[in-house]
Chain A
Amino acid sequence: MIKMIANLLKILNSDADPSQISLALGFALVSGLLPFISPLSLLVLFIVFILRVNLSAYFLGTAFFTGIAYLLDPLLHRIGLALLTAAPLEGLWTALYNSTIWRIQRFNNSVVMGGLVFGVLCFVPLVFLSNALIRRYREHVLAWVRKTRLMQAIRLSKFYDIYSKVSGWGWGGQA
């Protein structure tokens, strides 16, 4: 848990573009709510790699949202079941059900469908919200955080050196 907080602080306190971090969190939300091995997860992963989003934030966010997904299971199940059994959408679902790619995606499972819809709907609000929060954090809180012992310990760690170097050539998200 401490390691996770330290990693989060590292990302927030780095020079990474806030929009790249927030976009990474948005994709992390979608990945966390979808099954790990599925065509859509693969597509999201491809987008994350190809777009200049913060990979550390993405992987950290995915781990976080995967845990959250378990807690949200009852809600996701209800959303998914309501959509899958809605009479007006039956034609669409039937067509998808007879398509191999969508069957692999397992869209007809209530939790998967609920997760997909919930993730897509929350994607844009989460990106904007996290973007605004990161900017405010850097403006108002960052200076104080940098002075804390935890942050100083992180900055002295070997991992941070590596991270700084890597982020320098773009894997951390900063060009």
Chain B
Amino acid sequence: MGMGGSGMKRWIRWPGLIGFTIFVVVVVALWFLFMDTLVRRAVEKAGTALVGAEVDLARAQVTLVPLGVTLSGLQVTDPSAPSTNSIEVLRIAFRLDSLNLFRRKVIIDEMAAEGVRFGTARKRPGKVVVPPPKPPEAKEKEAALPSFTVPDVKKVLQQEKLESPALIEQAQADLKKKSEAWQKTVASMPDKAALDAYQARVQKLKETQKGGLKGLKGAAADALALSKDLNRDLDSVKKAKASFGTDLAAAKALVEKAERSPLEDIRRIADKYSISSEGLQNLSQALFGGAIRSWVDSGVLWYSRLKPLLERSGEKKGNVQVVKPLRGRGVDVRFREERPLPDFLISTIKASLQPEAGTFTGTIRNITPDQAVLGAPLTFSFAGSGMKDAQAASITGRLDHRKAHLPDDALDIAVRGYQANNLALSSAASLPISLQEGVMDLEVKGRRDAKTVSARCVALVKGVRLNAGGDGSGGAFANAIRSSLAKVSSFSLTAEIAGTPENYGVRISSDLDRVMRDAAGGVVREYRDRLEKELRQAVLEKTETKLAGLKEGLGGLGSQGGKLDGLQDRLNSLIKEAGSSAGGKIKLR
């Protein structure tokens, strides 16, 4: 016992109990002391990682009984415009379920967000950790707008590849080959010497006929031989003529195509550098498509950034699920729970949004990356009240990611009597269009599932005053559009978005198209005529000589046909002559 006591004394250090207690107390005290700072830093770090741009929090305050957190002055940098905040929240307050927190589950029953504003200026630009992807349509957007000045045709022809010269050269080469082949064929036909020999044989036959009965007997054999020879040659000439006819028709078609090719080049280039009739049909697409597309892109970008709040990339391994934790290293393996609860859940957020239009109040429900565990989708519903710029507005939506592979999202926005003021509709440098004033009714309905995105946005605007810039830039076309838009008092605009989540198209239509088409039609026709005239001159300069050579080549080929015709006539006349010299007793053909 004594030895045991001595051994125990050798290994046990009872004062250590005090040391341990002091150590733990100091750590806990430090934790309490710096808890607010720790929470503030954690929010900033997690927020920055989620959004991809600097998130700042002015103050965090943690209360222990009951366990709650109040965040003040939250600023989220806009990744695409770092000197502004995409969202700024004055105050966020919530209580945490402390028992579940011990189980590493962040469960917030109700969160209140006050003073939510968008697009506010920052004191200093925020850091962008993950730059937003550059929309690939940026260049296309500008290119989609028609050019309003007649381009320098020389420069255009340096940039554009003319197809006609190559086509004419190819046709020339084909024609030359054919012509040479037919020259050989005609040369292989009976020539003048052969025909003279036939003539001599016919003459001999005639003379033999005069030599009485004995002569007649020999003439019959000669006439038969002559008939065979002449008919053989005539057959080969006829066959060659038939084949030549086909070749000549093909050559003519080739020449016609080559003759048309300069005009096709002119039309193609003119279509590209001017406004076609199809382009005039849908000017609103060219003018407003860029701005609307950038709004849609911005929405899609935010959707992708906030997606980790809707679902977590998890992998099923047997009966368990392996998920990447929101924070920390490694992966978390999730096992079956007796009472399943998401790892992170905000049941309800009551928020008041304060965009420029006025105040929106509403709720967001079921924010969790574990919708499958919760068994309910995220829903939101906001309504505008006491707004200075609109009579009524509502935004409702549902983001259903309960089945991660089959998401089903829906968004409805309805705005009535929105007093639009200086709303940029087109940012095209050559024709910027803004809605100076007007009363707008707007309806947006959108859906997104795993494979498709579709949305329809209809805007009806009354009491319109449109501004298309007044500096006279853009030439006659832009001026015509400007003056036509100045007379517009109401219009409707429909944007239809369709495609896959990765690649979608925006199609715009508007009754402004008719107004602009009528106004700009004359200007466009004149512009096109001028461009075509200049192009014609330049293209024909490059192709005229070649075309003349091609026609000459066709004439050369045609002359081979003439030779065959002459040969056939000569053979036919020899056959006739030989037949008559045989007294008509021998039928030569």
Contact = CB atoms under 8 A, between A and B. Distances in A.
A94 B336 contact: yes
A110 B330 CA distance: 5
A108 B328 CA distance: 13
Contact of A109 (B317, B319, B320, B331): B331
A90 interface: yes
A87 B17 CA distance: 41
Contacts of B24: 42, 45
B13 A49 contact: yes
Contact of B318 (A81, A85, A97): A85
Contacts of B11: 51-52
B13 A108 contact: no
B320 A85 contact: yes
Contacts of A87: 318
Given A42-B24, A81-B322, A108-B335, A50 B103 contact: no
A90 B319 contact: yes
A52 B330 contact: no
B331 A51 contact: no
A47 B554 CA distance: 106
B325 to A, nearest CB: 7
A3 to B, nearest CB: 22
A13 B24 CA distance: 30
B334 interface: yes
A111 B104 CA distance: 16
B1 interface: no
Given A49-B23, A50-B17, A104-B104, A97 B329 contact: no
B214 interface: no
A109 B102 contact: no
A49 B20 contact: yes
A165 B320 CA distance: 55
Interface residues of A, number: 34
A120 to B, nearest CB: 18
Given A87-B318, A108-B332, A100 B102 contact: yes
A108 B333 contact: yes
B65 interface: no
Interface in B266-325: 317-320, 322, 325
Contacts of A114: 330
B337 interface: yes
Given A73-B329, A77-B331, A94-B335, A49 B19 contact: yes
Nearest to B9: A175
B28 to A, nearest CB: 10
Contacts of B331: 77, 81, 109-110
Interface in A32-47: 42, 45-46
Interface in A133-175: 170-171, 175
Given A50-B17, A103-B102, A103-B104, A90 B332 contact: no
A114 B16 CA distance: 30
Contacts of B133: none
Interface string A62-73: 000000000001
B459 to A, nearest CB: 50
A112 interface: yes
Interface of A: 42, 45-46, 48-52, 73, 76-77, 80-81, 84-85, 87, 90, 93-94, 97-98, 100, 103-104, 106, 108-112, 114, 170-171, 175
Given A85-B322, A93-B335, A111-B329, 12 more contacts: A50-B16, A50-B17, A73-B330, A77-B331, A84-B320, A84-B333, A90-B320, A97-B336, A98-B337, A103-B102, A109-B328, A170-B15
Sort A-B residue pairs by CB-CB distance and give the 3 closest, nearest first. A111-B330, A49-B16, A49-B20
8 contacts: A46-B20, A49-B17, A49-B23, A50-B14, A93-B320, A103-B103, A110-B331, A175-B10
Interface of B: 10-17, 19-20, 23-24, 102-104, 317-320, 322, 325, 328-338
